């Protein structure tokens, strides 16, 4: 409860819980604009662990999405395969790339179509707590 | 073995080798080398099929005749590689300029459970109004897959609606006779695809 109380106070004051995952930094976070009819968006970013201990990170929710998750894309034997990931292990003073054709954020059931220039937030969780990161929607290259 | 016998054996082996090489050269059909993938030495016939295109209108083998087609197999609940590839095909179409009119780009969804012809048309037209979004019953997709050499498989997800689809990564080239002509294979290079499609379209005209 001692740990929970400041969090509850923060929530009550309308603050977003930030930096709950000690050492986690989310850089170059973006979402390519998808066709308005798309039921799934994708999120890319670089997750950096500035801390001295490894981090295990999961994606828990998104402000504009029904649910979020982590997936990995692989091309094996001429087949495209996408598989859910239980989480990301970021080594101490290391980073993990979420990028096209590799690991990515699955942003499912968008509550409204996201256009280039829009922003949205995605929440990550680790053993210590939760961190919210801002993602910018950009025109697909 | 005597020395003379050995010479005869060596000569026979040499003759066989020369003959095989000559035969190989003569029998090898003329083809077009493409940088972006592989062309079959002998185009393969496709059986007729019944799918649905934009707005639910029929899409059959006749829709593949009279022009080259590039078919990309995927589904709209694939957020990563499918939209990236469609965006790349948009760049290919742009790169072809006026020659693009000689070709058709088809996005073939192997997820008819979630991709209706209407939603597929909206999805595909976001990338280009000229792209055709096509799907149909699994039996038709399976039969066409056997003809065109693509496969797909449903992989259950956490909920009944969040399943994933594994699918062949190669794009399929169909010639103006509506025959399987070859494949464009990943990693896709926009410039190489533009050059190859332009050469194929010119050969056909």
| pLDDT one digit per residue (tens) for chain A, 141 residues | 455 544 444 444 333 344 589 899 999 999 999 999 999 999 999 999 999 999 999 999 999 999 999 999 999 999 999 999 999 999 999 999 999 999 999 999 999 999 999 999 999 999 989 999 999 999 987
Please check whether residue A43 lies inside any domain of the structure.
yes
Split into its structural domains, chain A has a count of 1
Please check whether residue A77 lies inside any domain of the structure.
yes
Q: Do B169 and A79 touch (CB under 8 A)?
A: yes
CATH of domain B32-204: 3.40.30.10
CA distance A2 to chain B (A): 35
Please give the residue range of the domain that contains residue A78. 19-138
Please check whether residue A121 lies inside any domain of the structure.
yes
| Calpha distance B82→B15 (Å, rounded) | 53
Please check whether residue A10 lies inside any domain of the structure.
no
Please check whether residue A40 lies inside any domain of the structure.
yes
Coil/strand/helix, residue B201:
helix
Coil/strand/helix, residue B159:
coil
DSSP-derived letter for residue B28 is S
Tokens, residue B115: 């991709």
Count of all residues that appear for chain B in the document? 205
| Contact residues on chain A for B121, CB-CB shorter than 8 A | none
* C-beta of residue A124 within 8 angstroms of C-beta of residue A70: no
Please check whether residue A107 lies inside any domain of the structure.
yes
| Contact residues on chain B for A34, CB-CB shorter than 8 A | 79, 83
Chain centre distance of CA B33: 15
Please check whether residue A64 lies inside any domain of the structure.
yes
Query: Considering only A27-36, B138-147, B154-163, which range has the smallest mean pLDDT?
Result: B154-163
pTM of the model as a whole? 0.83
Q: Do B80 and A107 touch (CB under 8 A)?
A: no
Cα-flanking dihedrals φ and ψ of residue B5, to 5°? -65, -40
Q: Do B79 and A38 touch (CB under 8 A)?
A: yes
Q: Do A78 and B122 touch (CB under 8 A)?
A: no
Domain ranges of chain B: 1-30, 32-204
Bond before A102 cis per omega within 30 degrees? no
Our CA dihedral for B99, B104, B107, B108, rounded to 10 degrees, sits at: -150
| Contact residues on chain A for B84, CB-CB shorter than 8 A | 32, 100-101, 140
- Residue A58 belongs to domain with CATH number: 2.60.40.1890
- Average model confidence (pLDDT) for chain B? 89
């Amino acid at each position: 409860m001692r740990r929970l109380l400041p969090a509850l106070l923060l929530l009550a004051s309308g603050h977003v819980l930030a930096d709950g995952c000690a050492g986690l930094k989310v850089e170059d976070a973006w979402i390519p604009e998808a066709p308005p009819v798309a039921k799934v968006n994708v999120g890319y970013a670089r997750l950096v662990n500035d801390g001295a201990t490894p981090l295990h990170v999961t994606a828990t929710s998104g402000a504009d999405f029904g649910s979020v998750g982590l997936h990995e894309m692989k091309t094996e034997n001429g087949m495209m395969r996408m598989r859910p990931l239980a989480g990301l292990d970021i080594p101490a003073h290391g980073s993990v790339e979420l990028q096209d054709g590799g690991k990515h954020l699955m942003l499912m059931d968008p509550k409204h179509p996201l256009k280039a220039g829009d922003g949205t937030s995605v929440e990550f969780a680790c053993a210590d707590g939760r961190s919210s990161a801002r993602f910018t929607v950009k025109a697909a290259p | 073995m005597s020395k003379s016998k050995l010479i005869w054996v060596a000569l026979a082996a040499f003759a066989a080798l020369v003959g095989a090489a000559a035969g190989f050269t003569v029998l090898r059909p003329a083809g077009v080398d493409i940088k972006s993938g592989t062309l079959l030495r002998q185009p393969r016939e496709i059986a007729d099929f019944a799918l649905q295109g934009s707005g639910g209108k029929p899409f059959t083998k006749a829709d593949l005749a009279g022009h080259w087609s590039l078919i990309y197999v995927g589904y709209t609940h694939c957020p990563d590689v499918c939209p990236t590839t469609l965006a790349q095909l948009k760049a290919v179409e742009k790169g072809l300029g006026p020659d693009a009119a000689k070709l058709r780009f088809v996005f073939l969804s192997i997820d008819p459970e979630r991709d209706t012809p209407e939603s597929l048309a909206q999805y595909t037209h976001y990338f280009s109004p000229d792209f055709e979004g096509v799907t149909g019953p699994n039996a038709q997709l399976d039969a066409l897959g056997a003809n065109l050499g693509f496969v797909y498989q449903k992989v259950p997800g956490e909920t009944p609606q969040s399943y994933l689809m594994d699918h062949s990564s190669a794009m399929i080239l169909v010639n103006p006779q509506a025959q399987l002509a070859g494949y464009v294979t990943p990693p896709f290079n926009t410039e190489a695809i533009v050059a190859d499609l332009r050469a194929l379209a010119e050969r056909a005209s």
